[in-house]
Amino acid sequence: MTGATSSRSFVKSNNLYGWLFISIAVILLAVFLLYPIVYSLYLSTTSSKGIVQNFVGLKNYIRLVKDPMFLLALKNTFTLFIIQVPIMLLLALILASLLNDKTIKFRGIFRTGIFLPAVTSLVAYTILFKMMFALDGFINTALMNLHIIKEPIPWLLDPVWAKITIMIALTWRWTGYNMVFYLSALQNIPDEIYEASEIDGASKVQQFFHITIPILKPLIVFTSIMSTIGTLQLFDEPMNLAQAGVTSATTGPGNSLLTLSVYIYNLCFKYMPDFGYAATVSYVIVFIVAILTVIQFKVAGDKS
């Protein structure tokens, strides 16, 4: 009995010390993660003008349906998501497959060069794109010298071209980042699989669609979910590039660069501060990400 008692005492002592060691991390997580989540959810049910908060229940969520600026921001965000993300992921897959070929010389240089945009300064690269895509910038000058266009393209002054510029910028920055994920997975695929398919007469294109993509499916789902989250939270690129427009300093020509995150910023700091409604819009992003994640898992055939 004495031995059993001392054993239980020893276990309790260890448990106590264990909780003591992780208590600081738990407290920090509760203060800086759990509390903001809970408080922002409560905040989404209030109408706040400055420091004054009034509980309004679900009125903020009902207000979303009638808010034309929110609907426009939602439309712009989904336009970027539906067009840019598939192009970027497909391009990353193609580049990873090409640079996994052992017959290509200087593969390391190409890999590094394609990945470098992901680690460049965000402000620096948006300023560079703003200069390149100006009316008298490098892109228009090059296209006109090559006689591809006769007049400069208003990249950042036209609603449609402004969206295209954002898509080009995002694709340039994040394609290499996703390529590295695919490339690391491809290097773990045995060469015998591709050699056997070649013996059976499979072309490179058939290998890509029937071997590479199915094997990389879990990683494709992961990168698509991460890209979905990043696109729905898109803020820095439209905020910086929109400043080249003539109609708005933060939303671009015709509000074409107004995304959900930019709209949240405007609600908090540009318009009369309404943190309650801004919190509501932020939770819309949470709900949309959750729904799209479930859809992507179902489309990918995840039965878990």
Distance CA 163, CA 155 (A): 9
Q: Is the pLDDT of residue 126 over 90?
A: no
**β-sheet bridge partners, residue 54:** 47
Provide mean pLDDT across the span 107-115: 91
Q: For the chain, give every domain's residue range.
A: 2-43, 66-300
Name which of 286, 268, 282 is nearest 48 in CA terms. 268
- CATH number for the segment(s) 66-300: 1.10.3720.10
Q: What pLDDT is attached to residue 251?
A: 66
pLDDT tens string 34-77: 898 898 888 888 887 666 677 888 888 999 999 999 999 999 99
Distance CA 77, CA 233 (A): 9
Q: Would the CA dihedral through 42, 48, 54, 60 be positive or negative?
A: negative
Name which of 40, 44, 42, 20 is nearest 32 in CA terms. 40
Residue type at 299 in one-letter notation: V
The first and second tokens of residue 57, run together, are 């229940």
Distance CA 123, CA 277 (A): 28
Q: What is the largest CA-CA distance in the chain?
A: 95
Q: What pLDDT is attached to residue 245?
A: 46
Q: Which of the 8 DSSP states describes residue 55?
A: E
Provide mean pLDDT across the span 168-192: 91
* Other beta carbons within 10 Å of 277: 27
Distance CA 170, CA 117 (A): 10
* Other beta carbons within 10 Å of 165: 26
pLDDT tens string 232-273: 999 988 888 876 544 445 566 778 889 999 999 998 888 778
Name which of 16-20, 27-31, 185-189, 247-251 the model is least confident about: 247-251
Q: Is the pLDDT of residue 21 over 90?
A: no
207: left (phi over 0), alpha (psi -120 to 50) or beta: alpha
Residue 74 CA: distances (Å) to CA of 80, 116, 214, 232, 262 = 10, 31, 32, 9, 11
Instruction: Measure CA 283 to chain center.
Output: 16
106: left (phi over 0), alpha (psi -120 to 50) or beta: left
Q: What pLDDT is attached to residue 165?
A: 93
Q: What pLDDT is attached to residue 87?
A: 95
Distance CA 8, CA 117 (A): 57
Query: 3-class SS at 53?
Result: strand
Provide mean pLDDT across the span 183-197: 87
The first and second tokens of residue 94, run together, are 């193609």
Long-range Cβ contacts of 37-46 (<8 Å, 24+ apart): 40/279, 40/282, 40/283, 41/279, 41/283, 43/275, 43/276, 43/279, 44/276, 44/279, 44/280, 44/282, 44/283, 45/276, 46/276
Q: Would the CA dihedral through 298, 301, 303, 304 be positive or negative?
A: negative
Confidence grade of residue 177 (pLDDT, cut at 50, 70, 90):
very high
Query: 3-class SS at 301?
Result: coil
Q: Is the pLDDT of residue 151 over 50?
A: yes
- Mean of per-residue pLDDT scores for the chain: 85
